[in-house]
Structure 1
Amino acid sequence: MRRPRRSDPRGLGRTTTLTSLSPRAAEQREPACAEHRLAEESSRSASLMSSLDLMKKECFASGTLSSASFKRRFIKKRRVAPKAAQDADSECQLCRYSILSLTGNSRTVRRILTACLLSFLALLGSVSFDLSSNFDVLHATEAAYNELTSCRTAAFLQLVSKLQKMRHLFNKDVENETLEASFSEIVLPVFDRLCDEMAGHSDGHGINCSVELSGFCNQVFLNASLDTSENDTSAFSLAIGRLLDIWGTIEDSLVKVKQNSYWRDVLSARLLVTFIELNHQLQDFRHMAALTGFQYKWTYILSYLSFARLMTERLNDCWLENIDLKLNSSLDVQHSSILDTSQWQISGAGAELLSGSHRGIEALTNTQQCLFDRAVLALRLASRSISSVLSMRICLLALACLIYPVVMFSFKQMTEWIQNYTQSLKEKTEDLRRQRQLAEDLLHQMLPKSVAKQLRQRKHVEAESYEKVTIFFSDIVGFTSISASCTPLQVVEMLNNLYMCFDTRIDSYDVYKVETIGDAYMVVSGLPERNGDRHADEIAKMALDLVAAVRQVSIPHMPDERLELRAGIHTGPCVAGIVGYKMPRYCLFGDTVNTASRMESTSLPQRIHASSETYLALIKDNAYELQLRGEIEVKGKGKMNTYWLVGHKNYSVQNDSLVCHWNPNKNRKKKVVADSQVSVDNVS
């Protein structure tokens, strides 16, 4: 239901429709429309909105705000805005650049890089440990290979072989006669000649033997253990034994076998050489078979040879080919890895014994040569294989050392890019959030929050009926004459001062500002959020506050004059809903709106005109002072009993200051309506 037009008694001939309340229609008809145009301009500029908020605060700090200053600020803002925006953008870019440049050194990136560096160090440690063990294996393999192929070993073996032959010849020719010369005089020339002959040879690595044998020959020449006082053939056995000890003992070889399995070939070779020497001694001196020391040594070496066959595949193969298969074709091949010690007994019946025989010594010598050939080849291949593996691992480690920093740098760059992107996204999100908040604030100035929320969710907002609400209307007394005596900008400034004060003060109450048209001000309580029976109380307190506050708002161009407010309130049912599509507005419909407007139009300056329905709602708590006005003629309603809202009983000061002082300790005396001191003042 639309409110019927009413003539303006102040002479401008304007009409208002306060039910649908379209601000654009009012803008086209009244000078006050400049306020709305400025508001539209301000909604396009976030900086101007902040200026308006600041002016609201300054309004109530200083009390007034001139339209000229408002206009100057607005024009200056429009002129400076483009340059300021550019400066702000440049500053934002600089700030963003500084922020993003520092992002790479953030704590998170440092932690990740530290973790990567620690993992790289752990990788280096594990690879270094593995390389160290492989190098140890390589060195042991090379040592075993050098032991079998060195010029020193070849000289030892040739010298031992020559001494064995010399002992056999001396034992065969001289029998038990003593040597005419000392042992050193016989052996040293042979050894000297051997060193000269070996100087032209080379070892397994192709290195000439002269350098290695020079030190070895000096060591042998200066070794006093080779000189013996014996002058018979036993001196040869002692010298051979001492040479074998210089070459290396069985015990030392066993210790090295535990450290490196490739040393098993060296142990097998030394065992074979020692066993061949024992067979030579047994061949030359049969009486030694009865000696306990010789028997112990024979058994000791023979048992280790049996163990070496089980441990060394090459010794077992050579033994099988050169001894077992050649000398005894009836041997069971399935047990070829087990040494048949029955043929190698020191003494015994039968012709099967190989110990001390020429056949046995020849077979053992062939086995020794076979073992050296195969062991040298196997050790060379093993050394090359280990060297290849080490080379590959070193290359991979070097490649990892080159790639890992690149990967870490790339990861750092990628992390910085992600963080920069995240920071940029965060800033854009914050900008969008601010813009959305600004749009929501602007929307909430036009529509209630609950309705705006439904519209943002693209929901259809249905019109809603409310059983009880209280509506407040007010206008400025003498607004027509005041407007006629000033310019439009002065009117805008005056209304701006007034409504800024009103808008700030109504925030303290549970009310909703519907809208303003010119000097008309419309507020409702009880919608869109229902508040039970408190709507009349909220409107009454607000009305008293606004009537008191309007006296503090000065007229800039009429400093000696003070504004006066005419107000009216009414309680009743109402329908509220959204009207319009292009520019939707939240409007109120119903007879309650018309009645409230009539209460305002029939009110008096600085008085609050209340209907009987509002009176009944307010006297429930007996908190307000109400005076009966009497019956008045209301256009379209007929005769109505109305009341003046004088004040609130719990306010110590009423209607005389901008700030109403609340006095909750003041005694509230409930009085019966029939006995209340309500003055009856009939105003026609």
Structure 2
Amino acid sequence: MWRNTERALQELSSCESLLAVQLIGFLQEERLSWLKPAGKVWNGSWHAQVLERLYSLCSETEETLHHLNGQCQGEEGSVCGFYLAQVRQGLNATWEVEPRLALSGVISELLEVFDSPSEDLKAMRSNPDWADVVSFRLLLRIREVLLRAQEMPEEPSPPSFQEAWHPMSAILNYAIFTSENVQSCWMENRNLSLHFTHYEGMSLFIPSLVSSPLVPSAALAEELNHIQSCLLQSGQDKLSKKSKAILSTISLKISLLLIACLIYPIVLVSFKRMTDWIQNYARNLKERTEDLKRERRLAEDLLHQMLPKSVVKQLRKCQHVQAENYDQVTIFFSDIVGFTGIAASCTPMQVVEMLNNLYICFDTRIESYDVYKVETIGDAYMVVSGLPERNDKRHADEIAKMALDLVAAVRQVLIPHMPTGRLQMRVGIHTGPCVAGVVGHKMPRYCLFGDTVNTASRMESTSLPQKIHISSATYHALLAHDAYEIKLRGEIEVKGKGKMKTYWLLGNKNYSVQNDSLVCHWNPAASRKKKPESSPTSVQQSSTSPVGAAVTERRSASPQVIRQA
């Protein structure tokens, strides 16, 4: 687009155009002078006179051309010489012809060299700015046609004039419609605006639509000369401004492109650094997230060891855990026989490691049954079935199978400082209703409440070594399965209960629990290695809960049972 505008501007203000206007105007005035009867004598010397004045014209207009267009400083001589050669050649060819006809022929040759209407129309289709150039050249031709018509005053409107005028007026209307400069210059001239026809908001110069044929006159030719000067000035100004605006836009785009090229490496390096920082941050965040997930899993595992999973879910949702009443559950209590004497002969660290190894063995075994370990208090071990998840009437069967398994497993646990000794335990089981709930806020504990807990503790405290002591309620619950060997113990005195009819659980009819597949031998070194990975089992827990109170009270009665045995 800038090239088209610049091309039109250069063509309109070029040395060739400016000199052609000057030379054609001079020749037209020279031809007009031969029309006056002031009596110029026609002889052969007029050619030399015309050429001499043409040379003088080139010299006089040189400074003006330099001011209008600086490029003419180097081109003016060659362009002027070219036109002078054309004029000399034309005059020499018409040596014996009348001066008016000879000058008209020379002007026609200059106009043919100066422009080509067909080429101008093609250029105007692809370049709208070329309309000013075409209009400028058409004005030269129209003015020449008008001046030639004045050479034949005997005809008001010569046919040759009308034949030449119609095609040029059509091209001129196209230029007026395309170029605002041409239209404004024509409309500013009042005399020429009378020849316009207005059609649907457009002004068209159509001579065939006027009431009478257009009569050529000197006034019309003079008006065309003014329009030619107006178009030359306004066209140069507009095309120059448009070219500068386009060039400024192009310069701005190039500047922005250069700035972008300079900034791009900096932005690229900054972007790479930022990307590396984001990747490092994401990597660190991922590692910390994995650490957090790992710690969270450890915390959840520890919490699941302290509380049932269903209770943990409620606590994680910030829900209040309501105490729940259970109609039938079976509670298991166990105790190590002679634990006080064994502990007295061991160091505190040996006691801790012995109990830890024992309870690891127990914890591993009870995972095979539908039971929940409530807590361990010293050497006491408490397990329940039927809560927090109800299992219909299977709670007594699950506790019975587990009790037989643990009694068999405890025989495999060795005492390091007593190689020939074996651990023995008492077991008590009772079935009945109870209430379970979470107690405490800072260190919550899942506790059982009710007479069933106390009765189960009494069953354990009145049991014998390596015996499973069950109550009458548990006995009737196991009868429904008809899978166990049970022996009547008889009525015994139970503290706080009076006389109770109890039983011994001897075994299972369907299979024998020997626990040979589980190695429960105590290895102090292995115990120390496993201790950080295993669940932290407390061996010195508080006995302030109802369960703890029951176990503590049971301990006070344990020596009497041993002596009776």
Structure 1 residue 367 and structure 2 residue 227: aligned? yes
Counterpart pick for 1:304 among 171, 185, 191:
171
Residues of 1 paired with 2:509 and 2:137: CA distance? 125
Whether the aligned pair in 2 keeps the contact of 1:265 and 1:375 (CA below 8 Å) is yes
Name the residue aligned to 2:130.
Answer: 263
Counterpart residue type for residue 300 of structure 1? P
Pair 289,624 (structure 1): closer, same or farther in 2 beyond 3 Å: farther
Residue-by-residue CA offset, 1:394-452 (whole Å, 9 max, x unaligned): 55666666677777777777777666666656555554544444344333333334445
- 2:301 pairs with one of 431, 434, 441: 441
**1:216-615, aligned counterparts within 5 Å?**
216-217=79-80, 219-220=82-83, 227=90, 229-231=93-95, 232-233=97-98, 234-285=101-152, 295-309=162-176, 311-316=178-183, 318-319=185-186, 324=191, 337=203, 339=205, 341=207, 354-355=215-216, 357-391=217-251, 430-454=290-314, 461-579=321-439, 583-615=443-475
Structure 2 CA distance for aligned equivalents of residues 478 and 196 of structure 1? 141
Shift of residue 287, structure 1, vs aligned partner? 8.2
Q: What does residue 20 of structure 2 align with?
A: 156
Structure 1's 619 and 219: CA in aligned 2 closer, same or farther, altered over 3 A?
Answer: farther
Report the more deviating stretch, 524-533 or 538-547. 524-533
Pair 1:276–1:459, CA change in 2 (3 A):
closer
Output the amino acid matched with 1:160: I
Separation of aligned partners in 1, 2:501 and 2:6: 125
CA contact (8 A) 1:198 1:209 kept: no
Unpaired segments ≥5 residues, structure 1: 1-135, 661-682
Distance in 2 (CA, whole Å) between partners of 1:456 and 1:381 is 76
Figure out how many residues of one structure are paired with residues of the other and give that number. Answer: 515
User: Could you say if the C-alpha distance between residues 444 and 241 of structure 1 is closer, same or farther in structure 2, counting changes exceeding 3 Å?
Assistant: same
CA apart distance, 1:618: 1.3
How big is each residue's C-alpha offset from its partner over 1:434-475, in whole Å with a ceiling of 9 and x where there is no partner? 444434433333333444555566665554432221111222
Q: CA RMSD in A?
A: 4.4
Q: Aligned in 2, Cα 1:255/1:468: closer, same or farther, shift over 3 Å?
A: same
Partner of 1:663: none
C-alpha displacement of 1:536: 0.4
Report the Cα distance in structure 1 between the residues aligned to 2:155 and 2:207, rounded to whole angstroms.
Answer: 19
Partner of 1:654: 513
Residue by residue over 1:580-624, the C-alpha shift from the partner in whole angstroms, topping out at 9 and shown as x without a partner, is 566554333333333323332343333322222222211212222
TM-fit CA distance, 1:309: 4.7
Whether the aligned pair in 2 keeps the contact of 1:323 and 1:367 (CA below 8 Å) is: no
Deviations 1:245-302 (A, max 9, x none): 2211222322333233333222222112111212232223568999866642233224
- CA distance in structure 1 between the aligned counterparts of 2:197 and 2:85, rounded to whole angstroms: 49
Residues 54-86 of structure 1, C-alpha deviation per residue, up to 9 Å, x if partnerless? xxxxxxxxxxxxxxxxxxxxxxxxxxxxxxxxx
Return the alpha-carbon distance in structure 1 between the equivalents of residues 108 and 226 of structure 2. Answer: 21
> Which has the higher mean CA deviation after the structures are superposed, 287-296 or 297-306?
287-296
| Residue 369 (structure 1) shift | 2.9
**1:236/1:656 Cα in 2 relative to 1: closer, same or farther (>3 Å)?**
closer
Question: In the aligned structure 2, how far is the partner of 1:542 from the partner of 1:462?
Answer: 29
Q: Measure how far apart 1:546 and its partner are.
A: 0.8
SS of 1:603's equivalent?
coil
- Distance in 1 of aligned mates of 2:308 and 2:367: 13
Q: Unpaired runs of 5+ in structure 2?
A: 520-563
| 2:70 counterpart (184, 207, 210) | 207
User: Matched residue of 1:284: which SS?
Assistant: coil
Q: Is the Cα–Cα contact under 8 Å of residues 472 and 568 in structure 1 kept in the other structure?
A: yes
TM-score by length of 1: 0.63
State the secondary structure of the residue aligned to 1:522: strand
The letter for the 2-side match of 1:161 is G
The 2-side partners of 1:487 and 1:385 are apart by 100
Distance of 1:597 and 1:332 partners within structure 2 = 125
CA contact (8 A) 1:344 1:354 kept: no
Q: State the identity as a percent.
A: 52
Aligned mates of 1:288, 1:190 — CA distance in 2: 32
Deviation of 1:389 (Å)? 4.9
